[in-house]
């Protein structure tokens, strides 16, 4: 499976995102929530499309001052295990670096071993735990990644 594009989400993508949310989460984001993220000046949701134009996954990063937050990541069930989540996460991290973020935070369910493995491989470390964070009473593992500041190198002539 090849990804043709990763691009910013628009309102035209709403129905695909709602379908993906329902396929991915027991308590999916509502239409209103997704629209709020699309319209927010602090959120930068991006969508991965396959070569055939279909939605493969999306990520919703948010930036406040110099701190990034990964609000949501979802990959189509038929596309999981093919590196799409990693591509989306790497695109979000690059966006954060370009916008001057120094740290990125996220929450993940302790039962989501696949996501925890991805985040760990990308350099995130466990930074805490929120008790009974999710609707079903499940805790949230807090993870963070310190971003290296990319400075231009200057060479003497």
Helix then strand then coil, in percent of the chain rounded to 5, is 30, 30, 35
Given 21, 37, 58, 119, the catalytic residue:
119
Active site (annotated) includes residue 138: no
Nearest to 60 by CA among 45, 48, 75, 47: 45
Tell me which DSSP letter residue 49 carries. E
Given 67, 107, 133, 138, the catalytic residue:
107
Active site (annotated) includes residue 37: no
In the chain, what is the straight-line distance between the N-terminal and C-terminal CA atoms, in Å?
A: 47
Q: Specify the pairing of strand 125-130 against strand 140-146.
A: antiparallel
User: How far apart are the C-alpha atoms of 23 and 17, rounded to whole Å?
Assistant: 10
Q: Which residues are catalytic?
A: 107, 119
């Amino acid at each position: 499976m090849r990804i043709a594009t990763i691009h910013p989400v628009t309102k035209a993508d709403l129905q695909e995102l709602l379908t993906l949310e329902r396929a991915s989460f027991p308590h999916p984001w509502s239409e209103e929530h997704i629209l709020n993220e699309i319209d927010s000046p602090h959120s930068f949701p991006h969508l991965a499309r396959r070569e055939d134009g279909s939605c493969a996954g999306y990520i919703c990063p948010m930036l406040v001052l110099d701190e990034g937050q990964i609000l949501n990541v979802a990959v189509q069930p038929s596309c999981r295990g093919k590196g799409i989540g990693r591509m989306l996460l790497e695109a979000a991290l690059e966006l954060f670096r370009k916008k001057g973020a120094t740290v990125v935070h996220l929450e993940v369910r302790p039962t989501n071993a696949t996501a925890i493995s991805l985040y760990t491989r990308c350099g995130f470390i466990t930074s805490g735990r929120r008790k009974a964070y999710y609707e079903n009473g499940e805790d949230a593992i807090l993870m963070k990644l310190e971003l290296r500041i990319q400075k231009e190198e200057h060479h003497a002539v």
